[in-house]
Amino acid sequence: MPDLGSYAVAVLSSYAVTLALLAVLVWTSVRRFRRVRAELEMLEGTATRDG
Amino acid sequence: MIAVLARDLKLAVRAGGGFGLALAFFLIVVVLVPFALGPDTGLLTRIAPGVLWLGALLSCLLSLDRIFALDWEDGSLDLLATSPCPLELLCAVKALAHWLTTGLPLVLLAPVLGVLLNLPAAGVAPLTLSLLTGTPALSMIGAFGAALTVGLRRGGLLLSLIVLPLYVPTLILGAEVARRGAAGQSYETPALLLAGLTCGTIALLPFAAAAVLKVNLR
Amino acid sequence: MASFWQFANPRRFIAATDRVLPWLWGAGALCLAVGLVWGFFFTPDDVRQGATVKIIFLHVPSALMAINAWMMMLVASLIWVVRRHHVSALAARAAAPVGVVMTLIALATGALWGQPMWGTWWVWDPRLTSFLILFLFYLGYIALWEAIEDDDTAADLTAILCLVGSVFAVLSRYAVLFWNQGLHQGASLSLDTQENVHDAFYHPLLFCIAGFVVLFVALVLLRTQTEIRARRIRSLQARQRAGDTAREGGAA
C-alpha cells in the first residue's frame, strides 16, 4: 500500500466510486443481456412449436 | 402561410390561456425572487439581468407544447403537412406565431419588471436588446422540441428536459449582454454572438423541426 | 466480399460479436488491471499535487470516453439516417447509458480531485460546466428513447435530436468558454509531447485509456445485442397479438 498522505480519502474514494459505478454498469448490462436472451429463446421456442 | 399565422395568433388570443399565462408566470417568478433571496437592493441590482433572462426563458418554455399540440389533436396538422407549402416554412411560421404571442410580450414586460428588481437605468436598453435578439431563438428551438414530442401523451416534462440543454448557449450569451450592460461595460461582442446564434438557429432548425414532424406524422 | 456493412445484418452482428466479446472482456480487464495497479502502486507522487495525481488514471480516461461515446452515437445516428441499418440505431441507443456512467465518473472523480486541490468540490469552470451540460444532453436523449413506443419512430427522432444536440453541445462549449475562464488545467494529453504529462504517469495512463476504450466497446456490443433481441421480442409479440386477433375474427 503506497503512502497517500493526507489525500488518502480523496484518492481511495475516487477509486471506490469509479470501480463501483463500472461494476454496476457491467452487472446490469450482463443481467439484462441474459434475461432478454432467455426470453427470446423461450418465445422463439414456442413460436416454432405453434407453427 | 399568412393565413396560418393569422389563425395561430387569433387562437392564442381567443383561447385565453397561452397568451396571458406566460406573462403572469414571468411576473410571479420575478416577484418570488426577492422573497427567496431577501430584499437587499444591492444584491437585486446585481442579479436582475440574470433573473429576468431566466424568468423569460422559463415563461417561454411554458407555452411550447401548444405550438403543435392543438393542431395535432384535431388533425389539422395532417392537412397542413399535405398542403403544397413546405413543412419547413410551416415550422418557421409556427415558431414566429409563438414568438409574437409569447416572446414579444415578454420582451416588452421585462423592463417594467426590471423596476421591481432595481435594474439600473443603463441596463434597460441592453436587456431589451438582448431579449429581442434572443427570444426568437428560444421560440425556434422550442418549436423543434415541440415537433419532437408532439406524438407523446405526456410530452410536457420530456419537452423541458430536451429543450433546456439546447437553451444553454442562448441563455449564456443573452444574460451576458444584459449583465455587461447593467454593469456599464461594453456588450458589443456577446450581442453580436447572440445575434449570430439566433440567425443560425432560425436558418437551420426549421429543417430539423420539419424532419421530426414528418416522422411523427408517418 | 468481407465488408463492414455485412454486420448490419442482426444475425451476422450477433454471431460476430459473440466471437469477439470474450476477447474484448479479457483485454479490457487486463489493460485496466495493469494500468490501475501500475498507476496506484508504482507511480511517484507529484511535486505539487501529491498523491491526488493518482486520480488522473480514472478521471482522464472516463472524461475521454464520455465525449467519445457521444461521438459514437452521432456517427451511429448518421449511419441510421443515411443507410437505415437498425443495428446502427440500436448501437446508439446502447451507448447512451454507458456514456452517462462515464460522464458521472468523470464528474465524481473531478469533484474528489478538486476538493483537496482547489479547496472546493465544484466550480463553474468551462470544462466542468460543459461536462454537466453534456450530462443533461445524455439524459434528454435517453428519456426520448424511453418515451416512444414505436422503434423506427424512436430511432428517427433520437437520431435527429443527437445531430441537433451535437451542434448545440459545441455551441455551449464555446459559449461557456466565453462566459468564464476557469481553474481547470489545459489538455493533459496531446500528440505534441512537449505538453504531455510526465512519462512516469503517461505509460500507466495509456493502459488505463486502452482499458476504458476496450471496456466501452465490449459494453456497447453486448448492449446492442440486448437491444436487437429486445426489438425482436417486441415484433414477435406484436405478430402473436395480430395472429390472435385474426384467429378470433375468423372464429366469430
pTM (two decimals) = 0.86
Question: What DSSP line would sit under C121-184, residue for residue?
Answer: S----HHHHHHHHHHHHHHHHHHHHHH--SHHHHHHHHHHHHHHHHHHHHHHHHHHHHH---SS
CB C66 within 8 A of CB C103: yes
Give the residue from chain B lying closest to C174, CA to CA: B169
Q: Is the minimum CB–CB distance between B75 and chain C shorter than 8 Å?
A: no
Angle between helices A8-50 and C86-118 (to 10 degrees): 160
Inter-chain touch B218–C163, beta carbons under 8 Å? no
Q: Which of C176, C81, C142, C134 is nearest to B208 (CA)?
A: C81
Q: Of the candidates B161, B204, B212, which has its C-beta nearest C143's C-beta? A: B161
Inter-chain touch A8–C112, beta carbons under 8 Å? no
Is residue B151 helix, strand or coil? Answer: coil
Inter-chain touch B172–C165, beta carbons under 8 Å? no
Burial of residue C193 (CB within 10 Å: 0-12, 13-18, 19+) is exposed
Inter-chain touch C143–B155, beta carbons under 8 Å? no
CB B173 within 8 A of CB B197: yes
CB C52 within 8 A of CB C116: yes
CB C134 within 8 A of CB C103: yes
CB C170 within 8 A of CB C104: no
Cell of B36: 427567496
Q: Of the candidates C41, C52, C115, which has its C-beta nearest A2's C-beta? A: C41
On chain C, the residues whose CB falls within 8 A of the CB of A2 are 40-41, 51
Q: Which of C63, C74, C64 is nearest to C169 (CA)?
A: C74
Cα gap C137→C71, rounded to integer Å: 13
B75: DSSP letter: T
Instruction: Tell me phi and psi for residue C105, to 5 degrees.
Output: -60, -45
Going residue by residue through chain B, which has 218 residues, state the pLDDT in tens, using 9 for 90 and above: 677 777 777 776 666 556 678 888 899 999 998 899 888 888 888 888 999 999 999 998 888 888 888 788 888 888 888 888 888 888 898 899 889 888 898 999 998 998 888 888 888 999 999 999 999 999 999 999 999 988 787 777 889 999 999 999 999 999 989 988 888 888 888 899 999 999 999 999 999 999 999 888 87
ipTM at complex level:
0.85
C75: DSSP letter: H
Place of cell 418549436: B143
Cα gap C109→A24, rounded to integer Å: 17
Which helix (H) or strand (E) is B49 found in, with range? Answer: helix B41-62
